[in-house]
Structure formats: C-alpha cells, structure tokens
Amino acid sequence: MIEKEKIIWIYNKLFSIRYFEEKIKQIAKDKSVPGYLHTYIGSEGIAVGVMAALNHDDWITSTYRNHGHAIAKNVSLKEITAEIYGRKNGICKGRGGSMHISDFDKGMLGSFGIVAAGPPVALGAALQEKLNKGKKMTASFFGDGAIHNGAFHEAAGLAKLWNVPILFVCENNGYAEATATEWHLNTDNLRDITKAYNMHSIHGDGMNVFDVFKKTSEAINFVKDKSEPVFLEFKSYRFSGQYEGDNQLYQSPDEIEKEKKRDPILLASNIFSKYFSEEEFLEIKEKARKEVNEAFEYAESQDWPLPEDTLNDVYVNYPIDLIKCEN
C-alpha cells in the first residue's frame, strides 16, 4: 500500500510534467527558445513511477528527452526552465539548454544528446557504489532505439559481469525517432535482448504510474537481494513528435487517438478519484499549474550569461605541482 503523501507527490509530479511540457510546446511554436525541444507527453508515468520507488539521493542518467526525469527527480522547476531559456541562473548556467539538464546535488548525473551515452556513465556510478560499499541505486533511462547502440550492450555486459546495483530503464514509446518499433526490432519484448547477458528483466505498463512504481520497487528489491542488475522495459506512447516541429506523418491520427485513451494522466486520475475528494484533486492540479507558470515567469526575467563568462567551467586550474614533469 502506498502512503497518502507519496500518492499526492505522484499526482503533483504527473501534472507538473504535463503542464510543463505543454508550455514547452507553446514556446517552441512561438520560437521563444532556439534549438531542438523534445517533450515527454505520454511517458510521464515512467519518470514519476521510477522516481517514486527510488530514494531521493539515488543516481540517474537521462536522455535528450529529459524534462520529465528532471522534474520527477525534484530538480528546481525554475532552474530547469531558466536553463532551457539559456539564462545564467539555469541549473547548468545556461550552457546545457534543453537537452543537457543535470543536477549532481539531486543525483541527476547528466542528460545526453548522444543516443545510449547514458548507460556507460550510469555503470560507472554503480561501480563506484559497489567498490565503496555504498547503498545508492543507479537508474539509467534510454529509449528503444538505444538498444541498437554498442554503448548500451557494453554497459549491460559489464554490469552483469561485475554485478553492480543498476537499473536499465528502457522507455519503449513505440518509435525510435520516426521509425516504428516493428520496423527496427524483431521482438515485441525488448527485455528478451538481455538474455544474452543472463540479466534479470521485468516488463511493465509505462502508461500506468502505479504499475511502474510496483515493478520498479520489485526490481530494486531484486538488486538488493541478489546483488545483480535488472533490465526494466516500460511500454508507453509518444503523443508528440520526435521533436517540437516534427510533422508526425509517420504516426496516424487514429493511432494517436487510440493511445490517448490510455493517457497516463487519465489512468492515474481515475485511480486517484477513488481515494481523494474532487477538491483535493483540483488543489493538486492547480498547485502544479501555478508552480509551472511561476517557473516560466522566473526564467523569462533572468539575465543572459555574460560574454566574459564564456570560458568559466571549461578548464580546470590544477595545482602546478600536479602537472610538473619529472626529468
């Protein structure tokens, strides 16, 4: 049984991500922010369900579709938004932008624009936890398209060889960019791929936040009991395009409408209504909407980085005795 406070947290995060991404779609349409923007609408249940099962200080790695992960990891909404706007008070000082949100203090080790670049980094975090006898879990998020990348397989193979405390979280949203899953994979179950590594795998409904929470909790218990990694596959659906501005000609309107009947917000709301009053439900929604609106107002009011700050954080000033050559 999930405690009431966690259920409220889950709903707040679901609505926060949805409202945030709807605002992102609007600024993309208005061209308020340059560059590519990738929204997470349709997959909110995965980020929220996984983070609800993890401890607040556990490690994660993310992808270029990272807004949902960052919000669910409790990274500051204001600092996320300021980063997307390229302002100096952004979480990465305006240097990373939308695709590279990270916050070490919250356990978010990085978001990677390169497909499958996260698992090797997550592997390193998990390895140091094992070597130092730490207790933190590491979760690495990636999409179904990343399965084809050698970096994923290298990380998975070593994770099982070394038996490090890591969750490989595959967000199978039906498309690798514009390529449908059935056009690039010869199996309906991505978890079958990990049989080659003798790795335990679990499948869950990515549209159902409570199923994600349950399956992730099972995975965490397995990692702790067996001292082995786990591969998690959560199937969801990407309602928006690969990026904002994508015409989505590869997705039929009928397909999108069919999947929207299982919208993670809708499914969660139906469950929520059984335990909470309409007033409590509306209060959570409005709180989330207010926080998102305030974050965008904050970001738009912040200063740009100064030209003279360009080289800050680029080079490390090593003590001279560490780099002195011996004859």
Domain ranges of the chain: 4-323
Tokens of 72: 């669910």
The Cα–Cα gap between 21 and 68 comes to 8
Length, in residues, of the chain = 327
Q: Could you tell me which of 164, 156, 171, 157 has the C-alpha nearest to residue 203?
A: 171
149, exposed or middle or buried, with CB in 10 Å at 0-12, 13-18, 19+?
A: middle
Strands 108-112 and 166-172: unpaired
End-to-end Cα separation, the chain, in angstroms = 67
For helices 118-131 and 150-162, angle between their N-to-C axes, nearest 10 degrees: 10
Q: Which residue has the tokens 């409220």?
A: 8
Strands 179-180 and 175-176: antiparallel
List of E strands, the chain: 59-63, 108-112, 138-143, 166-172, 175-176, 179-180, 200-205, 230-235
Q: Does domain 4-323 have CATH number 1.10.3720.10?
A: no
User: 54 and 80 in contact (C-beta within 8 Å)?
Assistant: no
Name 185's Cβ contacts closer than 8 Å, sequence gap at least 6.
Answer: 144, 147
pLDDT reported for residue 2: 83
pTM of the model: 0.94
Q: Could you tell me which of 258, 198, 210, 199 has the C-alpha nearest to residue 234?
A: 210
Q: What are phi and psi of 259, to 5 degrees?
A: -70, -30
pLDDT reported for residue 322: 62
The DSSP-derived string for 145-178 is GGGGSHHHHHHHHHHHHHT-SEEEEEEE-SEETT
pLDDT reported for residue 123: 99
List, run by run, the mean pLDDT of 10-residue segments along the chain (327 residues): 89 98 95 91 98 98 98 98 97 95 97 97 98 97 95 97 98 91 83 90 97 98 97 96 90 92 94 87 96 98 93 80 59
Name 140's Cβ contacts closer than 8 Å, sequence gap at least 6.
Answer: 60, 61, 118, 119, 121, 122, 123, 155, 166, 167, 168, 169
